[in-house]
Chains A and B, each alone.
Chain A
């Protein structure tokens, strides 16, 4: 019964502490013990009795006697019996009702001790307390009493208690109940003693059975009695019990718990890792070097926390300032240093072990460690998981591998149940079979059956769990399942006994873990990836309105890469400091005013992270967070200003790019579309609008087939309303109705195809005045409304793809921007006939509203449009009739185009094909001017001159005169500019189409096409000469 012995020992230590309680018990015992009937409770100890023999009993008695003496010596007036009772109360957890039983229990416990140990202890006690003042009579009396009781038990319970019998000992409804009585805090013991005194005074008319005050339970005592009334009676008039406090009944099931003593069976052995519980070394890791179970002492090895200065001055007898708050850091004791400070160091040989110790002021040191003997109580061995730092420190002075295994045993003690699983690779680390590798076949309680490759061994082989350690090889992919790095995964790069070095998957950093803490796993996780609502790599807004990306999760905190482009700034923030997650889909413009949306690949061209490249993960306030997998810091995230980045991957530029919300993008641009005059400005402005146009083109190209199309709502409260779709989400679409955005079910809308009304124009461009059917019926009308033309252009843009511009350019000998520029001017209509050719097609196009037709075709009809080549070729031939700028002539084809006027079918008819093209001419303005290209300027009344565009903003270009841009800078309207066609071997800038913004070398000219080698990716592309401009390095 080792457990009992331990408890017994514990009790020894706790005499002083539990004294009152014991006394109370004792009193009760005296009062009622002898007469009261023996309860089932006693059978608890039957087996113990059975095992005992009288000889041991005798020893016991002596032991008790001496102990009693000790108790007396401990400046406490109490009878030796009370001590016993105390023990009983402690040990006997199940029934407190009878003092007798308790005593029995006590005796039994001792009886089952190993004889030699008991002898030891007795001697110890004798030696120590031989001169105790306790008189012999007392002892004899006690002995007699105990023997009496003991023999009685002997007769009755000379059989083995089974589980069932044990079960029967549990309190039942017939037993006295336990009542919880509230008393003054801190007075629990006092109350118990008072009740005891009361019991003594009043005798049997106090009908309570016992009173218990528990150390760990403040504010309450337990009273055992049959009826509540009895309890009330007993506590009546007690000073520390509040008069009208409710008395609570402890449910029968919980009664045992009230007095159950937590099993404190600590199996401390040498080399176990423990932690100190109290004092200067509180929390420190210590290693057990010696255990004295008798004295309840344990000698531990610690890293000393000694302030030599203070020690020296103390030894000198000087005053030492008491600084309680200051705890010296742990440091190995350097004897020489101590000597230098004139601290007396004695070198002594320990008589027991034969080792030499340095003795400084009563403290023993060896190899720099402090050897301290402390009470068993002041160390804890439970859940001690030494960290690597601590272990390393301990191993530093004496480099021997054995110490590691000492640590291991503790680690193993803290293993979870089910630590080994079938199939685990294991290695034997102790015993004869050390270093034997195998695989777990089966796990029994303590033993693990392993299968090994070794011949001649039983298969499977049973090995104690404690002798096994998990085995990993470099290259294994593992997951950490416990310890500080729990949840992380990585690849094993090094195995050092039971310590693994893992390369974490997320951080690409080394992590040291115990082999015990990991399992093999193919799973790739980032450790903890979520705290609260925030996940790794989320963009979050912080309290102070700064923002950043979560790059790492730590315990209850996030590491955040702040959105500061100049330098990487990492902040550690708590959950509560995060305001919200930023999930808005926005797009920004890059260095060349190309649109960057999330997921686009960009390259950083300026700033500290120049040269980095990767997909954009987040965009906020013009700051991009780019993920570069080659970038190892900050989890691969780079923060850069949008203007210092360029979009890469030209092929993706058109259609796929702009999966974002087209409306929001739209509104980002300079002028809101609804203003009728604004399209003009767009055309003049060129660049900004271009992006817008592309944005819309992209919208159709992607998966969002409905996005941007104008729909009519068929059902619900908004029935009959029309508007462009601004967002699609699952089964719902968000439709913008003039001012208002509503959400309707997807099937509650009808595409505009069938409606055949240019409602799209109407809604988007606020042309409510015109009835939708109007333009198609009255072909002339639109002519008169330039506004409408300009309005039409953006629609076209939506449909148009960059390549188409190219297709067209050669056929527009006049500089297109001018066309469109003038287009928007109503005055120019009548007066300048040469501009007319361009305009009618636009109108023609508009009238039948192919826009809606196109837009509403699901399944990516836009992407059709987006495919440059096919259309390019198709249209290239078509427009020729327009070429001669004979006024009026174009009218004919365009008017014919009205006739077929079947919406939806229109895009297929050649007429429409032509029409579709026409706005391109106008829209070409966008494709034009970019910085760093060579242009011809011919202002009215001036000679033409060459210059280099320096800047393009809001429809005007800043042009530096001179072929290299070295001259004066003038402002020019796009209409005054003409691109200088590049020659072979010139560096060119592509000013339109898909590769707009790219720089390349014109390596050949083939008719109207130029062969360009793009510098970025060295691709060779055939592009129209018209969208090539001579590049001049600024």
Chain B
């Protein structure tokens, strides 16, 4: 789920950045530092949309660095248990398949794939129903439900299921192309 929230961060800026462009420098550094990071509480910071306020800088003893408390608005993405997501399949193996929804990696175990779908090894490993009407393979888009998440320092990993109504392949570029 995406959220638009306000976060705060203390930015340390080197004196060389001081000048007319201080604010820009600060913002670009903030973007560089923050965008794409992941925290357990908020999930992935997708983009910074604005700066709320830049507090007074405080010179740090000894280094000359200045610390600015910056409040910024950003869009964060955090997957939740029970959430329905659409994701792109990145890898299929005998244990299930991996899919990605933006920065989040989701694993769908074969136990969480409908029982009528079978794994087919080969050049392009895929899961398919016996009649071949549905096929899950790399690049496929699937709709899945997250049943568990694990948050690391740098990534969020989810386990998902497609064993439910209205879940499964929604678009297969390989077959339409």
Query: Could you say which of A503, A630, A858 has the most chain B C-beta atoms within 10 Å of its C-beta?
Result: A503
- Which residues 485-506 of A have a CB within 8 angstroms of B? 491-494, 501, 503, 505
In the bound complex, residues from chain B placing their C-beta under 8 Å from that of A505 are 150, 157
Per-residue interface assignment for chain B, residues 1 to 29, with 1 indicating a CB less than 8 Å from any chain A CB and 0 otherwise: 00000000000001011000000000000
Stretch at the interface among A715-723, A863-871, A984-992: A863-871
Q: Which of these, B63, B90, B159, contacts A859 with CB under 8 Å?
A: B63
Q: How long is the Cα–Cα vector from A492 to B109 in the complex, in angstroms?
A: 10
CB neighbours (8 Å) of A858 from chain B are: 62-63
In whole angstroms, what is the CA distance A492 to B112 when docked? 11
CB distance from A634 to the nearest CB of B (A): 14
Q: How far is the CB of B20 from chain A (nearest CB, A)?
A: 12
Chain A 508-536: CB-based contact to B (< 8 A → 1; otherwise 0)? 11100000000000001000000000000
Chain B residues within an 8 Å CB radius of A476: 148
Is there a chain A Cβ closer than 8 Å to B152's Cβ? yes
Interface size on B (CB < 8 Å)? Answer: 29
Residues of the B chain whose Cβ atoms lie less than 8 Å from the Cβ of A864: 14, 16
Given contacts A493-B159, A859-B65, are A475 and B91 in contact (CB under 8 A)?
A: no
Q: Which residues of A contact B91 (CB under 8 A)?
A: 630, 632
Asked if A246 lies at the interface with its beta carbon under 8 angstroms from chain B, I say: no
Instruction: Looking at the assembled complex, report how far the CB atom of A483 sits from the nearest CB atom of chain B, in whole angstroms.
Output: 20
Which residues of B are found within 8 Å of A859, using beta-carbon distances? 62-65
B139 to chain A, nearest CB (A): 14
Q: Is the interface of B mostly helix, strand, loop or mixed?
A: strand
B62 touches A503 (CB 8 A): no
Distance (Å) between the CB of A425 and the closest chain B CB? 15
Contact residues, A443-493 vs B (CB, 8 A) = 474-477, 491-493
B124 at the interface (CB under 8 A from A): no
Q: Mark B75-88, 1 if CB is under 8 A from A, else 0.
A: 00000010000000
Chain A residues lying within 8 Å of B105, measured Cβ to Cβ, are 629
Q: Distance (Å) between the CB of B145 and the closest chain A CB?
A: 10
State whether the Cβ of A860 lies closer than 8 Å to any Cβ in chain B: yes
C-alpha gap A600/B90 in the complex (Å): 24
> Does B172 sit within 8 A of A, measured CB to CB?
no
Smallest Cβ distance from B115 to chain A, in angstroms?
11
Contact status A632-B109, CB under 8 Å: no
In the complex, what distance in Å separates the CA atom of A277 from the CA atom of B106?
Answer: 47
Q: In the bound complex, how far is the Cα of B63 from the Cα of A859, in angstroms?
A: 5
Task: Report whether A491 and B150 are in contact in the complex, using a CB–CB cutoff of 8 Å.
Answer: yes
Determine whether the beta carbon of A474 is less than 8 Å from that of B161: yes
A474 and B152 contact, Cβ closer than 8 Å, known pairs A494-B112, A510-B95, A630-B90: no
**B118 lies within 8 A of chain A by Cβ:** no
B residues near A870, Cβ cutoff 8 Å: 16-17
Q: Is the CB of B81 within 8 A of A475?
A: yes
Cα–Cα, bound, A501→B81 (Å) = 18
A366 to B50, CA, bound (A): 76
A-chain residues with CB within 8 Å of residue B149 when the two chains form the complex? 475
* Nearest CB of chain A from residue B155's CB, rounded to whole Å: 7
Complex CA distance for A510 and B108, rounded to whole angstroms = 11
A409 to chain B, nearest CB (A): 26
Q: Is B147 on the interface with A (CB-CB < 8 A)?
A: yes
| Distance between Cα atoms of A239 and B14 in the complex (Å) | 94
Cα distance A979–B66 when bound, in Å?
43
Determine if A510 and B109 form an interchain contact, defined as CB atoms under 8 angstroms apart. Answer: yes
Closest Cβ of chain A: how far from B152's Cβ, in Å?
A: 7
Is A524's CB under 8 angstroms from B152's CB?
yes
Say yes or no for B107: interface residue by CB 8 A criterion: yes
B25 vs chain A, min Cβ distance (A)? 10
Residues of B within 8 A of A492 (CB): 148
A residues 894-937 in Cβ contact with B at 8 Å: none
CA distance A475 to B146 in the complex (A): 8
C-alpha gap A501/B159 in the complex (Å): 12
Contact with A along B132-171 (1 / 0, CB 8 A): 0000000000000011111010010101010000000000
Q: Which residues from 81 to 126 on chain B have a C-beta closer than 8 Å to any C-beta of chain A?
A: 81, 90-91, 93, 95-96, 98, 105, 107, 109, 111-112
Contacts of B152 in A (CB 8 A): 524
CA separation between A859 and B15, bound complex, in Å?
Answer: 11
List the B residue with the shortest CB-CB distance to A631: B91
A474 partner, pick from B96, B98, B112, B150, beta carbons under 8 A: B112
CB distance from B136 to the nearest CB of A (A): 16
Most buried by A among B16, B91, B161: B16
Q: Which of A834-878 contact B (CB under 8 A)?
A: 858-860, 863-864, 867, 870
- A494 and B90 in contact, given A475-B148, A859-B63 (Cβ under 8 angstroms): no
Best-buried of B17, B90, B112 by chain A (most CB within 10 Å): B112
Query: How distant is A1019 from chain B, measured CB to nearest CB, in Å?
Result: 13
| Residues of chain A contacted by B161 (CB below 8 angstroms) | 474
Residue from B16, B65, B109 in contact with A503 in the complex, judged by beta carbons closer than 8 Å: B109
Evaluate contact between A494 and B109: CB separation under 8 angstroms. Answer: yes
Q: Give the distance in Å from the alpha carbon of A479 to the alpha carbon of B88 in the complex.
A: 29
Please tell me if the beta carbons of A477 and B90 are within 8 angstroms of each other in the complex. no
Within the complex, the shortest CB–CB distance from B102 to chain A, in Å, comes to: 14
Docked Cα-Cα span, A476 to B81, in Å, equals 10
Closest chain A residue to B64 by CB distance? A859
- A475 to B150: give the CA distance in the assembly, Å: 9
Contact of A501 among B16, B17, B111, B150 (CB under 8 A): B111
Query: Whole-angstrom distance from the CB of A635 to the nearest CB of chain B?
Result: 15
**Chain A residues whose CB sits within 8 angstroms of the CB of B109 once the complex forms:** 493-494, 501, 503, 510
Residues from chain B with a CB closer than 8 A to the CB of A474 are 112, 147-148, 159, 161
* B residues in contact with A860, CB < 8 Å: 14
Q: Is the CB of B95 within 8 A of A509?
A: yes
B95 touches A477 (CB 8 A): no
In the complex, the answer to whether A491 meets B16 with C-beta atoms within 8 Å is no
Q: Which residues of A contact B157 (CB under 8 A)?
A: 505
In whole angstroms, how far apart are the Cα atoms of A238 and B136 in the complex?
85
> A871 → chain B, closest Cβ, in Å?
9
Q: Is the CB–CB distance between A508 and B159 below 8 Å?
A: no
**Minimum distance in angstroms from A438 CB to a CB of chain B:** 21
Alpha-carbon distance between A980 and B142 when the two chains are bound, in angstroms: 51
CB contacts (< 8 Å) of B90 on chain A: these are: 630
Q: Which residues of the partner chain B approach A493 to less than 8 Å between Cβ atoms?
A: 96, 109, 111-112, 147, 159
Q: Count chain B CB atoms within 10 A of each CB in A493, A501, A630, A858 and give the residue with the most.
A: A493
Cβ 8 A contact of A863, one of B14, B62, B93, B146: B14
State the CA gap A833–B161 with chains docked (Å). Answer: 78
> Contact check: which of A475, A509, A629, A863 meets B159 at CB < 8 Å?
A475
Contact A477 B107 (CB under 8 A): no
Determine whether the beta carbon of A475 is less than 8 Å from that of B93: no
Which residues in A have their C-beta under 8 angstroms from that of B95? 503, 508-510
- Min CB distance, B131 to chain A, in Å? 25
How many angstroms between the C-alpha atoms of A524 and B90 in the bound complex?
A: 24
Q: Which residues of B contact A629 (CB under 8 A)?
A: 105, 155
Residue among B105, B111, B152, B161 having the largest count of chain A Cβ atoms under 10 Å: B111
Please, how many angstroms separate the alpha-carbon atoms of A474 and B164 in the complex? 14
- Complex-state Cα separation, A498 to B161, whole angstroms: 21
List residues of chain A with CB within 8 A of the CB of B98: 630, 632
Tell me the bound Cα distance from A907 to B171 in angstroms.
61
Nearest-neighbor residue (CB-CB) of B154 within chain A: A629
- Report the separation of the CA atoms of residues A369 and B112 in the bound assembly, to the nearest whole angstrom: 34
Q: Give the distance in Å from the alpha carbon of A363 to the alpha carbon of B134 in the complex.
A: 52
Given A475-B81, A501-B111, A629-B155: 17 more A-B contacts, CB < 8 Å = A474-B159, A474-B161, A476-B148, A491-B159, A492-B148, A493-B112, A493-B159, A494-B111, A503-B159, A508-B95, A630-B90, A630-B98, A632-B93, A632-B98, A858-B63, A859-B65, A870-B16
List 5 A-B pairs, Cβ < 8 Å: A475-B147, A501-B109, A859-B65, A863-B14, A864-B16
The 8 A-B residue pairs with the shortest CB-CB distance, nearest first, are A475-B148, A475-B147, A494-B111, A493-B109, A859-B63, A491-B148, A491-B159, A864-B16
